A and B are shown apart, each in its own frame.
Chain A
Amino acid sequence: MSYRLEGNTGSWEVVCGLEVHAQVISESKLFSGASATYGGAPNAHVSFVDAGFPGMLPVINRECVAQAVRTGLGLKARINLYSRFDRKNYFYADLPNGYQISQFAHPVVGTGEVEIELQDGTIKQIGITRLHLEQDAGKSMHDQHPAKSVIDLNRAGVGLMEIVSEPDIRSPEEAGAYLRKIRQILRYLGTCDGNMEEGSMRADVNVSVRKPGEAFRTRCEIKNVNSVRFVMHAVEAEAQRQIAVWESGGEVVQETRLYDPARGETRSMRSKEDAHDYRYFPEPDLLPLVLEEAWVESLKAALPELPDEKRRRFCEQYGIPFYDAGVLVAEQAIADFYETVAKGRDARLAANWMSGDFFAAMNRTGKNIEDPPVSAVHLGELLDLISDQTINGRIAKDVFEEMVETGAAPGAIVESKGLRQVTDTGAIEVAVANVLAANADKVAEYKSGKDKLFGFFVGQVMKAMAGKGNPALVNEAVRKGLGG
C-alpha cells in the first residue's frame, strides 16, 4: 500500500531525495596531512593548508579517494575514472579559504542503486545520482564568549562524501530505511563510522508533494538533519506544511529550511532569492583526478562482503529465515559474531540464541557487540553443551544468565552448580515412580482418558530432578510408568 497523506483536496504523495554527507574515515584530511580523527583540543588538528594560509596548496589524499571509490563500489555505482575538483566560493568565518574544494561538474562516482526493505517486507530500489568528495568546514561557536565567536578548525578540511539519491523516496519510512541502509553499507565498508550524533554523518532532505500521477512540484531542502528519526519526522512535517500551503491556494517556494526537532516543524533559512551564488569553477591548484582501472579493480577485489550478499548467503549456508538473516547482518560485527558461534555447530540453534537470549541480554545490560554480554566463544560452548546433551535447553537458559552475570565459561558453571543433565535411566525411573506414587489420583484420571495430564507428570518429574532430566528420557520413562 503506497504511503499517502490525506488533505482537504484528497490524498497527496510525498517525493523525497536525500543528500547524505558522510565523513571519510582516514588518517589525515582530504588535502592536508593534519589528523582527521574526531576529538582533540580545539584547533589541535590544523595545518597551514587547512587554515588557508597564503601560498599553501592542497594535495589530494589517496586514501580518501580509495574510500570514495570503495563506497561507490558498495553502492553498485559507476566509478568515473576521470573526475575533477571545483571551488565552491562563499564567505564564512569557519571556511578558511573562502571556498570549499568540492566536485561539482565531474564527481568521482556516478549512478548507482541501493536496496531498501520496508516493515512489511517490501524490497525497493533507490537510485543513487552521484557521490562526490569535498572538504568539511570548521565549526563556529557563538556561546563561548559574551561578545566573540570562536572557531575550531579541527574538522576543516576533513574529507566528506556527499551521496545524492534520486527523488525515489516516497514516505518517511522509506527515507529512514534508505538512511539506515546507507549507514549500514558505509560501516561495512569502513569508509564512514556513521555516527550521526558526532556529526560524522548528516543528511540534507529534499521534499516535495504532489497529487498521485502528477509531475514533480517545487521542492524544499531541509539542511543538516542529524538522526534517522529526525529525517523521518522532517519528511512528514515538511510534506504536511507543503500540503497546507498548496491547499490554501498558496505556492511552495524553493528554499532552504531547518528542522526543529523540539517543535517538530521546519523553518525557512533562506529563500532562493538570497541563495548564494557559489561561482563554481575548476580548482586550478589540483590536476584532474585520473584513476587507473586496475587500481579500481584491486579495491573491488578487496571489498568486504556487503550486507545484502551476506544476508542471502546466511539464508543459503545456514538455512535460517530471510528475516532472521536480516537481523544478523545488521552490523558487520554481529554477523561476524554469529558466524563465530555458528561455525561447526547447529546454525539455526545459533541464530535462535542470538536473536533471542543474546540480544535480550545485550539490551538489558546496555552492552554492544564490541563489548558483548557473553563472548562468542562462550556462547558457542554453551551450544555445544546443549548439542552433546550435557545440559538441556531449559537449564541452558539458566547457565546463560549465569554467564552474563559472572562472565564464567558455561562448562565451569555446569560443573560447579551440578547442572549436568541426568541421562541415567535408573535415576529417572526412580523419580517417575515417586511422582506417580504421590499422585495416584491423577494417575487414575489419566488412565480414565485425561491425556493432558501427561505434561503434568513430566513437569513434576523435571521439578523433582531440579530441571536436569533429559527431556526425551523423562518423557519415555513417564510413558512407560503410566503403562503407555
Chain B
Amino acid sequence: MTETELRIIAANAVQQALFSGATDAECTLSDGSEFSVSVRLGEVEKIKEADSCGAGIRVLLGQKQGSSYTSDLSPEGIEQMVASAIDIARITETDPHAGLPDASELGQLEIDLGLYSPDTLSTAEKIDIAKRAEAAALAVDPRITNSDGASFDSHSGTRVFANSRGFLGSYRSSSCSLSAVPVAKSGDRMERDYWYSIGRDHSQLEAPELVGRLAAERVLRRLGARKVPTQQATIVLEPRVARSIVGHVFSAVTGDAIYRKSSFLLDKLNHLVAHPSVTLVDDPNIPGLFGSSPFDDEGVPGRRNLVIENGFLKTYLLHTYTARKLGLATTGNASRGLTGSPGTGHGNLYLEAGSMTPEEIIRAVGTGLYVTELIGQGVNTVTGDYSRGATGLWIENGELTFPVSEITIAGNLTQMLENILHIGNDLEFRGSTSAPTLAIGGMTISGAQ
C-alpha cells in the first residue's frame, strides 16, 4: 500500500473510534517488507522474503482506556479492531492520568532524517555479499574449522501515526545488516563469535571481507580460554559490551520505573550519580542513525535530552502518562508496538566519548579484565545489583594477554557508575544505544576457587 493510503486508513480509524463513542483515540500502522538470506559453508541455507502489515488502536472513554490490533487492514478488519478496543476499554478503570498529549505538544521534525534509502540490490547480490563475508572469515586461520554462517538482512517499512488531537504523521525507514559467525576449534573446545555491520542501505555497510575478518579475529582470540581466580579487579568493557551499561541506566531513568519506585536512580534528580566525566545524551534527531525518528510514538517531536551531564542526573525520560504522574512535561520518549499503551523508548542514547584511545585505557589499567561478551540477565535495575557471565582477555602489564571465560563480573550499578575510571574516544553508532570503551574499577570477578 502507498504511504497516502496508509495515512487515510489511520485517520479513518481514529474517526471511527470517535464516532463509536471514544472521547480520544490514536492509531498506529506499520507496513513493511523483510528479506533475509543466510549462507553456510559457501551454500545458501535459508532465504526468507515477505511483506506484512498491522494496525493498532488505543481508545479512551473519558479516563478509561483499551486497545486492540489486527493484521487485517481491510475496512472490515479496521472496523472490528475499533469495536474490539471500545469493547475492552469498558472493563478498565478510571485512571486520572490517562490521556493523549495536549495539541500544543504535538508535532514533527521537518528536516530529512535520512531514514530511508531504496533497496537496489538483487537477491543474487545479497547472497554474494553474505558468501564473501563468510569466506573471508574462513580464510583467516586453519583453526577456523566451521561456521554458523553469514547473513544479509534487509527491511524497509512505513510507519503511520494519527490521533484525535489532530496529529497525522508518517515516515519510511530502511535498514540492512551483514553478519558473520565463524567457529574455531582448539583441542576439544570450540568457540564462536561474530561481527556485524548495519546501515540504512548496503552502501553504508562495512566491506564483507572486513566483517568476515573481524569476526574471525574475535573468535580466534577466544581459543584456549581459562578461568581466573576470584578477585576484585578493574574491568574494561569494549564498546560492543559497554553499550549494555547505557541500556541499564536507561531502564532506571524511565518515568515508568520512577513513578513505580523501581529504580536505583529514584530521587536522584540533580544529584551526582556517576563519575563527573560521564555525560549521557538521548538524541533522536541525528540524521541517518538507528534511533532517529521525526516524532515519538505519541506524535510528540523528538528532542535532544541530556540525561546525565558531568555526572549529574538531569532528567528522566518521559512520555505523556509518566510525565503527568510525576508532574513534569513529556520528553518525547513515547515508544510502542502496534498495541497497548505507550512505554518509554529512546532515540540515539549514547555516552559521550572521552579522550583516551582503547590502548591507552588498557595501559592505564595495568591489570584487569578486558570484557568482550556478557551473557545472562543478572541485572536488577531496582536495587542496582549486577552479576553477569563474562568472556574476555586478561590485562597484564598494560597489555591484553590470555583469553578468559566461564567467570562472572559483579557489583552494583550505583558504584559502577561512580567508578568509571576512563572513557574511550571510540564512540560508534551501531544501533540505538552506544558507548565508547569504559574502564570500571572495583568489580568482583568470580572464577576459580
Whether A and B are associated in the same complex: the answer reads: no
| A contacts, CB < 8 Å to B | none
| B contacts, CB < 8 Å to A | none
